[in-house]
Structure 1
Amino acid sequence: MALIEIFSKLHTTVSTTPKYRLGFLLSDSGLLLNFQGSKKWIEMDDNLALRNVEFVLCLDTITRSLDSNQPNVLYMHVSKPPKEKTSISNYFKLLKSIAGHHNKNLTVEGIHKKINLADSKLSWEHERFCMKRFPAFTLSSAKSPVSPLRTTMFKDNESYIIEHLVISVKNIAESLACYMYKIDPFSEVFEGHAAIIEDNIRPYLGIKATLQNNDIKDGFEKYLKNVKIFFDKPDEREPDFMFYSSNNPKLNIYRVKPAIFDLFLTFAISVYLFGVYFAIHFFPRFYSLISNSTNIYIRCFIKSSPNALKRK
C-alpha cells in the first residue's frame, strides 16, 4: 500500500509519468493456500496486465521480526540465474547499487532455487509466474522458504518494524523509479515532499483483510484506477484447496469386540509362535533321536534275521 501511494504521486502530472505501467496484486491466500490467489489471477482469460510484462516483483516478509540482532539483508529469490542484460539482471544491479549507496546497513543478495515440480507446495510466489514463463522474482528478508519469519505470530515492537520497513520500501521504490526512468542509481528520486518517511508506513500496519472491511479496497481506489476484486472457491471435482467447517458435525460410533477376545487372541497367537519356534529350534535333535532309534532297530532286526533262518 505504501508503494501504491508513493508511485501514484509520480502519475499526477504528465511530465513525471513514466512510460511503464505498474500493476499491483494483493492476494489474501499467500503461503498457506499455496499462492492460490496468484494462480487464479494468472489463469484469467481477460488478464491484459500480464501481456508484454517486463518483470513481476513479489514481496514476501520484507522486514525481520525475530532476528533483530542479525544484519539487515534483502534477498532476491529467483528460479534460475538471470542472464546478463535482461530485465531482472538490470533491476538486481540497480537494487544492489542503491542499497549500497543510500543505506550502508542494508545488503542485497541473490539466491537461486529451482522449482520442484514434484512438490505440490511452492516455496515462493514468483514460482507461480515462472511456471507460466513470466520473468519474476521475490524480494524477502527470509533467506530460506522454511524460515520461521514467514509464519511466526510473534513480532518486535512497532518502531523497529517501521524503521526496517522504511529502509526496504525506500530501496524498492528508488530502484523501480531508476529502472522506469532510466536514470543514474546514485540520484535520489523520492526526496523533499515525496520523501519516504514513517508516516507513509504507519497507517497500513493495522490494515485488515478484504472480507473483514473495505480498508484495502478504499486504499486501492484512492490511488489506482480500474480496481477489481476477485473471489475464488475450490473446484467441486478437483479442488486445489479445501476449507473444513464444523457446521454439520458427525459422530461415528463403532461396536467392537470386548477386550477379553483380544487377550485370548494374543495368547493363542503367542502359543502358536512359541510352538513354531521350539519346533524349528529342536528339530535337529528330534531328527537325530529318531534316526538313531531307527538305526538301532534296523540293526537288531538284521542280527535276529540270520538266527531265525538257521533254526529253520
Structure 2
Amino acid sequence: WIEDNLDSQDSNLLSDVAYVLCLDGIGKSDEMYLHVSKPPKEDSPGHHFLQNLQNVLKSFYPGVIFEMVHKKINLADDFLAWEHERFSIKRLPAFTISHFNSHKDPDRSTILDQRESVDVGKLSRNIEIVAEALARYVYNVSSHGNLQLFSGGLGVQQDLVEAWLGQLTSQPRATQLLPKDHSLHSNLEEAMSRYLKDVKRTTFKADKRDPEFQFYDGATYTMSAYNVKPAIFDLFLAVAILGYLAVVYLAVQNFHFLYSAMQKLSSPKKLKVQ
C-alpha cells in the first residue's frame, strides 16, 4: 500500500503527510511510550504532536507515565520491530504509541489476547489522550493552555468503546479467516462512514511471484462422524480369520488324508452274499 501510493502519480495521499501515527496496544497499562526511529526535529509537525501529547498528559492525566523511546531500524531483521518503521524507511515522519516499552515484550506477540486482557477504562482514557493531542495539532490550539476539546458530549463514550471491543474480539481477525465480504468489514465501513467524509475499502493481494507471506484459504470445513464397531470387534474378527486360515492350511498340508477319507466315504460298499 505504501509503495503504491508513493509511486502513483494519480494519488497525492502520502505526498503531503505531516506525520504518520501508529497505535500498538493502548488498553492495558498506565504507561505510554512513543516509539520513534528518528527523534522529530524541533518545530516539525512531529515535534508539535509530541509537545501536545506531553501537555495533555501533564494537564489532565498526570498519573500516566510517558516516555519517548528511540530505536534505530535494523534492516537485517526478518521482521520490523514497530509498524511506523515501514513508513520511516520511505522517509515519512512516523511514530508508534504503545504501552509496551519494548517490541520484544512477550505479551505483544501472544495469541491469548482475549477480551479479558483489555481494560476498557484505560483504553477509553488513552483514546481520549491521543484524540486530544491530534486535535490540538489539527486545529492549531496548542497554546490555549488547559483547553480540553473532547469533554462533555464530545468526550469518548466508554459504552461505545466497550461495545466495539466486544464486537471485534468475538470475531476471528486472522487474514485467512476474514473473506472480503465478511460482516465485520461492512460494519466497520458503515460505522466509519458516520463520522468520516471519505471512507474507501481497498483490497490488496499478495505478490504471486515473491510473496512475503502465504495465506491459505479454507476457513470452513465439513466434519464427518461415523458410527463404527468397537475395537474388540476387530480382535474377534482377527481371531476368526486366523482360525479360518489355519483350517485351510491344515487341509492343504494333509490333503492326502482328506482325499483318502473322501474316497472311503464315496466308494460303494460290497454286500456279502450268503
Q: Please, which of 52, 59, 65 is the counterpart of residue 94 of structure 1? A: 52
User: Number of aligned pairs?
Assistant: 203
Partner of 2:20: 56
Partner of 1:169: 127
Q: Is 1:192 the counterpart of 2:152 in the alignment? A: yes
TM-score by length of structure 1 reads: 0.59
TM-score by length of structure 2 reads: 0.67
Alignment of 1:40-189 (within 5 A): 42=5, 45=8, 46-64=10-28, 72-152=30-110, 153-155=112-114, 157=116, 161-183=119-141, 184-189=144-149
Alignment of 1:286-297 (within 5 A): none
Contact 1:55–1:87, Cα closer than 8 Å, also in 2: yes
1:128-175 CA distance string (max 9 Å, x none)? 1111111111101111112123223145747x6111011101111111
- How much has 1:103 moved relative to structure 2? 1.1
Alignment of 1:266-285 (within 5 A): none
Partner of 1:235: 207
Cα distance change on mapping 1:144 and 1:91 into 2, 3 Å? same
Deviates more, 1:51-60 or 1:225-234: 225-234
Cα distance change on mapping 1:112 and 1:105 into 2, 3 Å? same
Partner of 2:162: 202
Alignment of 1:26-37 (within 5 A): none
Equivalents in 1 of 2:63, 2:39: separation in Å?
A: 25
Letter matched to residue 147 of structure 1: D
Cα distance change on mapping 1:39 and 1:121 into 2, 3 Å? farther
Contact 1:95–1:108, Cα closer than 8 Å, also in 2: no
Structure 1 residue runs without a partner (length 5+)? 1-37, 65-70, 248-312
**RMSD of aligned C-alpha atoms?**
2.4
Contact 2:6–2:14, Cα closer than 8 Å, also in 1: no
Q: Please, which of 211, 219, 223 is the counterpart of residue 191 of structure 2? A: 219
Identity %: 34
Equivalents in 1 of 2:4, 2:100: separation in Å?
A: 25
Q: SS of the counterpart of 1:201?
A: helix
Cα distance change on mapping 1:132 and 1:157 into 2, 3 Å? same
Equivalents in 2 of 1:41, 1:189: separation in Å?
A: 35
Contact 2:132–2:150, Cα closer than 8 Å, also in 1: yes
Letter matched to residue 39 of structure 2: P
Equivalents in 2 of 1:177, 1:72: separation in Å?
A: 22
1:74-124 CA distance string (max 9 Å, x none)? 100100122211111121111011112111221221000111112231111
Cα distance change on mapping 1:55 and 1:146 into 2, 3 Å? same
Letter matched to residue 62 of structure 1: I
